[in-house]
Amino acid sequence: MPRLRIGLSAVLAVALLVLPGFALAQSDPEAPPEDPARYAPELQGYVPGAAALEGRIMAPCCWVQTIDIHGSEIANELRVEIRKRLRAGETSDAIQASLVQRYGPRILAVPPGSPLKSVATLLALGLVGAGAGALVMLKRWRGRTLALAGTVPKKLGNDAQLDARLDAELRALDD
């Protein structure tokens, strides 16, 4: 019985490892693999405003990531289009407006009217307030430390004088 369980477990493990790879290989045999080198010349080099705009546009294939980090063919095509249009002199606002017209407002990572901007502003103000509060507390603590340091005598005297005083006080308690 235990050997049968071990055998079945091994067969199940192999099946779970092999079947997904087989399914992926057979999913679309006619589709050639995407060649990233095809987009390399257009996507390399610095284009002012391209990175900011690509970070605001969602990939229309799955609507999960922005096109600056998504690797699908449509995302790469949009990145190439944005860079070409920016090099031609179009403004990023005009390009964004045309993409919204083509794909709808869902193409924007942060749609208009989203509370995300106000939340970010409130968080920034909260951090500034917390920093100011921390500075006030540190100044108070420092002031208290300095005040206490001023009340403590700098030098208590030599040990012989303290020993004699302590001995005298202890004798007075015994009597």
Res. 32: pLDDT tops 60 = no
Q: Tell me the C-alpha distance between 24 and 72, whole Å.
A: 17
* Contact indicator for 68, 54 with CB cutoff of 8 Å: yes
pLDDT for res 68? 87
**Where are the domains positioned within the chain?**
32-107, 116-174
Which band of pLDDT confidence, cut at 50, 70 and 90, is reported for residue 169?
A: very high
Return d(Cα 4, Cα 10) in angstroms, integer.
10
pLDDT at 125: 93
Provide the CATH topology of domain 32-107.
Answer: Helicase, Ruva Protein; domain 3 (1.10.8)
Check residue 145 and give its pLDDT.
78
State the Cα–Cα distance between residues 40 and 76, nearest whole angstrom: 10
Q: How does residue 168 score in pLDDT terms, banded at 50, 70 and 90?
A: very high
Query: Looking at the whole model, is its pTM more than 0.75?
Result: no
Report the range of poorest mean pLDDT among 26-35, 37-46, 52-61, 144-153.
Answer: 26-35
Nearest alpha-carbon partner for 108 in 86, 78, 76:
78
At 30 the pLDDT is 46
Q: For residue range 55-108, what is the model confidence (pLDDT) as tens digits?
A: 989 999 888 889 888 888 888 888 888 888 988 898 989 999 999 999 989 899
Q: What percent of the chain has pLDDT over 70?
A: 69
Give the pLDDT confidence of 37-68 residue by residue, as tens digits.
Answer: 566 666 667 778 888 888 989 999 888 889 88
- 96 vs 100: CA distance, rounded Å: 6
Residues 76/66, Cβ–Cβ less than 8 Å: no
pLDDT grade, residue 115 (50/70/90)?
Answer: confident
In the predicted structure, residue 9 carries a pLDDT above the cut 80: no
How far apart CA 100 and CA 94 sit, in angstroms, is: 10
